[in-house]
Amino acid sequence: MGLNVLDAFQTIILLNLGGWEVNPIVHSAMRLYGDNFWLWKFFIASASVVFLCLHSKFRKVKPIIVFATVLYIVIVFYHFLLISFCGTEASAGPLGGP
């Protein structure tokens, strides 16, 4: 859940830096709920995590939990790189210099 919250905050930062949401479902939620989209995202992700944890004794559920965790780690790391790159670009002058 921490990775989901971090993803939501990083998405907000990237949107403020001029980025856009690639996921069409989240993009639709953003258009419907505006700045409160992260509440919708948190609720959906929380319900999914609770469902998976309640069914974690099933053999096929554990790989799904691992996959979702690794996917969120990759997304958060990618967002970190994008924010770092955008921050560098924003601080550079029009010709890439200070």
Give residue limits of the domains in the chain: 2-91
pTM of the model: 0.74
- DSSP-assigned states of every residue in 32-48: HHGGGHHHHHHHHHHHH
How far apart, in whole angstroms, are the C-alpha atoms of residue 27 and residue 79?
16
Query: Who has greater pLDDT, 49 or 87?
Result: 49
Q: Which long-range contacts (CB under 8 A, 24 or more apart) does 13-20 make?
A: 13/79, 13/83, 14/79, 14/82, 14/83, 14/86, 17/83, 17/86, 17/87, 17/90, 18/86, 19/82, 19/86
pLDDT band at 54 (very low <50, low <70, confident <90, very high): very high
